[in-house]
Every structure is written in structure tokens, then in C-alpha cells.
Structure 1
Amino acid sequence: MQARVIRNHDLIRVPWKNGGGTTAEVAAFPEGATFETFGWRVSMADVASDGPFSLFPGIDRTLIVVEGDGIELDVEGIAYTLDSASPKLSFSGDDITTGHLLSGPIRDLNVMTRCGRFRHRTRFVESGVALLAEETTVAFLVPLDGPFDVTLDSTIHSLEALDTLMLDAMQELILLSGTGRAVLIELMPDHS
């Protein structure tokens, strides 16, 4: 089992697909894939103004607000408020989506998987023990509120808020110690 720490301060910002902002890729498969060729992609975006989201045909998306007061997403005419009480929304990259900031800029965590190749699930975890789903091939842990220590095979990986720990598939228990919440992302093949 392999684990790799990806530091938030090392992420490289690139323009959004529609040119309306910037995103920092945490990881993508295959490595070096473009917006049109990735099987899955995990990224963080800084949203500083209202506007349309890029279309990603054939992609399932989950967006999680990780900093800031929140955003209202209009997805095909239906409004969803993402804030500290309800920070997560899953939707199709085919859907026409626009964002309206609630009060100032936000940072969000994006998980995208190409339909027919991969699927994903996200959940919030706190200190304790986590176990990945059997079909998970790769997972990511992103602390939101403060430092987290992740113990794997007696090795401790120390993370600051918004750092990422990338894990190869495993069925061992993951020991988590930290303050506040973290996001656990699991990626698996799509056999549908």
C-alpha cells in the first residue's frame, strides 16, 4: 500500500476550462490527462466572482465548499445553496450550471469521474477509524478545519488543512487523528 502527501501550497493554478477562473489539480488519471481525456480528476478551485461553470459532458461531479461563506448553484434552473451547514452537491457535468457567491470568494474541492469508466463517493470523516469500500482503487483524504495525522502501517502522515493524502487501494483500517472534519474521496471502476 502506497501513500503520497500532496501539499496545498505546492499546487499549481491553471485556467478553468471556460477561462473564468483558476483551478489547482490535486491529481488526475491518467497522469498528464487533459480536461477531455481524464478518467478521474480531483482539484481545488478559487471562485472570486459569479458566473457560469464549465460544461464537462459525460462527467459526474461533486463540489464541496472548503473555504468561504458559500455559493448558490443554479443547476438546470434548480437552486442549491452550499454553505457550512450543507457544503456538498453532486451533479452532472452535462448540466448548465451557474454560481452566485453568498458573501465573498470561496475555495471548493471538485471530484470528477468519467461515466462508464469511474465513479466516486465522498464523505466527511472525523478522528477515529475509516475503512475504504472494497471496490475502491484510489482514495484521497483532505483535512478541512485543521491538522490531521493519518496512521497507515505504523507510519504517521501529518497533514495541514487542505493538504491531501493520496492512498492506493487497501482494506486496512485508516487511523485518523485531528481536529474538525476531513473529506474522504473514494474512486472506483464504473461497471454499470
Structure 2
Amino acid sequence: MSLRDPVPMNTANVRALAALPPEAWRNGGGVTRTLAAHANAWRVSVAEVERDGPYSRFAGMTRVSFVLRGAGVVLHEGALEVSLTPNEAVEYTGDAAWNARLVGGPVTVLNVMSAAQKYRVAVRALGAGARVAAGDVALVLVLDGTCDISGGSAEHTRLASGEYATFANLREPLRVAPATRGARIVLVTLSPVAST
């Protein structure tokens, strides 16, 4: 699968997760929805994994997965094993030919792929306000409740449940905060690694 360029983002690019077309896996084990991507540098997607089976190999990419729904996934490749558990960001290589075993049934997983050693990737659930540094790429996904975003190129944006926004050209810091009690919000940041 090729990575698509996002629309240039001088303002908040707000979209509904449900409006994204599903891309069926070749092995029939699930579907993926691409939230945002940039050339061959990075991609953020949400996968519905419905049964055990192989994961696609992405040579030269670092993967970070964050289980949004379900009990988790265990990945195997030879002697290597990686456990993906709910609400925990797990980093692993895209070079391996992973086989997935579901833990207790289907899962929904947010996946971030980035060119190896080009970005520091962070994925976290927000319980309070957070700041995104200028120069970073940010994606905010609201699973439940509402979220306020301000600063940067966002002016002031409120996201509702099932919506997300991407910010790729931040000239100043961005502020992200829950707007309702008990809101479930996931923040993805990609920070470019300075070349030496």
C-alpha cells in the first residue's frame, strides 16, 4: 500500500472516522482506514483485526500500535514476540513478517508507521490537557466526548466523538484538552529527528 499525502494544513483538517473508506486486507483478516499520511515518511491508520493471521511487512518502517478496543494482540516472528495491550503504545519493527494471534476476539488498533530513525512517535490517551511542540505533526482522535484544540494553525477547534484532526505544519505550539468529563481522546505526535 502506498502512503498518501495529506491536504496542506494551514487550518484544522477535521474529518469523521466513519466516513473513511475501509481498505480490505489481502488475507481477509481485517480492514484498515487511513487517517493521514505523508509520502513514504509516515502513516496513521485504524485497523479492525477480525482473526488471527499475518501482518503486512513494511521494510524500513518503525511501527507503533495502540489498542483502542478489545483485549489485545500477540505478534510472533520466529523467536520474537510483541504483545499489544489496551491503551499502551508499543513500538516494534516493520521489517519482520509478524503473525498475529488475537487475545479474546477482534480488536481495533491505531497504527503509526514512520520511516525508521526519522521520527520520534508518541501515542497516548489524554486525561488532561497536553501541548504539542511547534514543528511536530499531530493527530487528535476523539473516541467519546469532546475535545478543544487551540494555538498553532488551529485557531479554536472543537472535535466531537468519532472525529479527528491532523496538523502537519505547526509554526507554534498546539494545545489539546478534553472539553467534557470522561472524554476518550488519543493524541499522536511525530517529532522529526534532527540529522547529524
2:186 to 179, 183, 188: 183
With the length of structure 1 as denominator, give the TM-score of the two structures. 0.80
What is the identity percentage for the equivalent residue pairs of Structure 1 and Structure 2? 28
- Which residue of the partner structure matches residue 152 of structure 1? 150
Question: Which runs of no fewer than 5 residues in structure 1 stay unpaired?
Answer: 31-37
Aligned partners of 1:190, 1:18: CA distance in 2, in Å? 34
Equivalent residue number for residue 34 of structure 1: none
From the superposition, tell whether residues 76 and 91 of structure 1 become closer, same or farther in structure 2 (CA, over 3 Å).
farther
The amino acid of 1:182's aligned partner reads I
Where in structure 2 are the equivalents of 1:131-142 lying within 5 Å?
131-136=131-136, 138-142=137-141
Task: Specify the alignment match of 2:16 in structure 1.
Answer: 7
Q: Mapping of 1:28-47 within 5 angstroms? A: 28-30=37-39, 38-47=40-49
Residue 104 of structure 2 is aligned to residue 95 of structure 1: no
Please give the per-residue CA displacement for 1:59-102, whole angstroms capped at 9, x wherever unaligned.
01101111122111225523333233x63311110023111111
Rounded to whole Å, the distance in 1 between the matches of 2:172 and 2:77 is 36
Indicate whether 1:167 and 2:161 are aligned: no
SS where residue 36 of structure 2 aligns?
strand
How far does residue 22 in structure 1 lie from its aligned partner after superposition?
1.8
Residue by residue over 1:152-177, the C-alpha shift from the partner in whole angstroms, topping out at 9 and shown as x without a partner, is 1562322214x321123243351412
- Residue-pair matches, total: 180
Match of 1:65 in 2: 67
Change in CA separation of 1:4 and 1:76 when aligned onto 2, cut-off 3 Å: farther
- Over 3 Å counting, the alpha-carbon distance change for 1:67 and 1:89 in structure 2 is same
Question: Which whole-Å CA distance do the structure 1 matches of 2:81 and 2:24 have between them?
Answer: 26
Once the 2 structures are TM-superposed, how far is the Cα of residue 131 of structure 1 from its aligned partner? 1.3
Distance 2:66 2:176 in 1: 23
Q: Equivalent residue for 2:124?
A: 124
> Aligned residue for 2:142?
143
The alpha-carbon distance between structure 1 residues 17 and 43, as it changes in their structure 2 partners (threshold 3 A), is: farther
8 A Cα contact 2:89 2:123, kept in partner: no
